[in-house]
Amino acid sequence: MSRPAFDPATYDAQLAEKRARLVELLAPFAAPEPVVFDSPREHYRMRAEFRLWREDGQRHYAMFAPGDKHTPILLDDFPIASLRINELMPRLRAAWQASEALSFKLFQVEFLTTLAGDALITLAYHRPLDEAWQAEAEKLAAELNVSLVGRSRGQRLVIGRDYVEEELNVAGRSFRYRQPEGAFTQPNGRVCEKMLGWAYDVLGERDDDLLELYCGNGNFTLPLATRVRRVLATEISKTSVNAALANLADNGVDNVELVRLSAEELTQALNEVRPFRRLAGVDLKSYEFGSVFVDPPRAGMDPDTCELTRRFERILYISCNPETLAANIAQLNDTHKVTRSALFDQFPYTHHMEAGVLLERR
């Protein structure tokens, strides 16, 4: 099967279609025209995952069309992935072709890279990893100047670091981020910078406090914390919480309190439905929240969390699913109006898009 269509000549037309779809979704709420933030046309994706497919006695990088796990699309390069991934792909393939210890029962490869040039490769196996693998992997990591993670059932061996280091510039300041292997990070680095800049600008300089739900590794937390007095941020993933704490320390951001709670649990805590041990020592009543920032998963905010955000003067909402964004706005529309909107093209050549809105109390 041939590789998926990749034609930068179609980019502008696809982006115009996405803009029209977002305008249509936000039309019932009298939203202003969205600001559109485009993507680089190629080499924009900082991470990529490939299955390996045996053909003619060799393993090849492969991807599959949605719903078809039997017809591989064999790849030598991947133009939408970062230049660093494209540089590493043939070198890694040559390494496993030359080494039985590296290739035996290897079935999946993941690349994680950054705009700052860092790289981590995860190799997944259907067998236990032994000393021979470790020795070959250490040599390979040195040759490629990458960190390596080997995974098999019940095993995770790390050579170097189990994260990459990114550097993103927002409003003239550079922020450093640890991005852990296996944890969520925004895939399009340049568009991520544009998202951070937009959110920073829209929040504005405030003399009150910010509540942040779904904070991940602190991607938005770091720049937004410089705009407010204090931040209370929540995240449920342990890996992301640990990365966020490291990122706050690395950047000298000291006005953020991070708690490992889901958005639903924090809603219960603020409504005094029940106490949480993880909130011991956190004086919720000392916060003067003026704004809430949310970046929920594709399902959007659950109804109770949506009701919680209604209490705030400003709701700054980043969404990876404009349909659930529109559903959440419909729930809030009687008390809040959309005053700013944006389209971020995180995922060129697909129907997916990222959107942002600011809702302010009527």
Average pLDDT of the segment spanning 127-139: 98
Q: Which residues are annotated as a binding site?
A: 186, 214, 219, 235, 295
Neighbours of 343 (CB within 10 A): 21
> For residue 59, which of 110, 108, 122 has the smallest C-alpha distance?
108
Average pLDDT of the segment spanning 244-263: 95
| 223: helix, strand or coil | helix
| Strand ranges for 2-126 from DSSP E | 35-37, 47-55, 58-64, 72-75, 106-113, 119-125
Q: Are strands 173-180 and 163-170 parallel, antiparallel or unpaired?
A: antiparallel
- Prediction pTM value: 0.94
| Residue from 42, 181, 212, 354 carrying the catalytic annotation | 354
Residue 192 annotated in active site:
no
Q: What is the pLDDT of residue 1?
A: 37
Residue 323 annotated in active site:
no
| Residue from 193, 257, 320, 323 carrying the catalytic annotation | 320
pLDDT at 4 exceeding the cut of 60: no
Query: Binning pLDDT at 50, 70 and 90, where does residue 5 land?
Result: low
Q: Which residues are annotated as a binding site for S-adenosyl-L-methionine?
A: 186, 214, 219, 235, 295
Interior/surface letters 122-135, b for 16+ CB within 10 angstroms, e for the rest: bbbbeeebeeebee
| 93: helix, strand or coil | helix
- Give the tokens for residue 246: 């490291």
| Residue-wise DSSP of 270-330 | HTTSS--GGGTT--GGG--EEEEEE---TT---HHHHHHHTTSSEEEEEES-HHHHHHHHH
Q: Answer yes or no: are the C-beta atoms of 177 and 251 closer than 8 Å.
A: no
pLDDT at 2 exceeding the cut of 50: no
pLDDT at 352 exceeding the cut of 90: yes
Query: Binning pLDDT at 50, 70 and 90, where does residue 184 land?
Result: confident
Q: What is the pLDDT of residue 132?
A: 97
User: Model confidence over 58-87: pLDDT tens digits?
Assistant: 899 999 988 888 899 999 999 999 999 999
pLDDT at 34 exceeding the cut of 70: yes
The rounded mean pLDDT for the chain is: 95
Q: Does domain 8-41+186-361 have CATH number 2.40.37.10?
A: no
pLDDT at 295 exceeding the cut of 60: yes
Average pLDDT of the segment spanning 292-297: 95
Q: How far apart are CA 41 and CA 315, in angstroms?
A: 31
Q: How far apart are CA 15 and CA 38, in angstroms?
A: 8
Average pLDDT of the segment spanning 94-115: 97
pLDDT at 3 exceeding the cut of 80: no
- Domain map (residue ranges) of the chain: 8-41+186-361, 47-164
Q: Does domain 47-164 have CATH number 3.30.428.10?
A: no
User: Model confidence over 213-235: pLDDT tens digits?
Assistant: 999 999 999 999 999 999 999 99
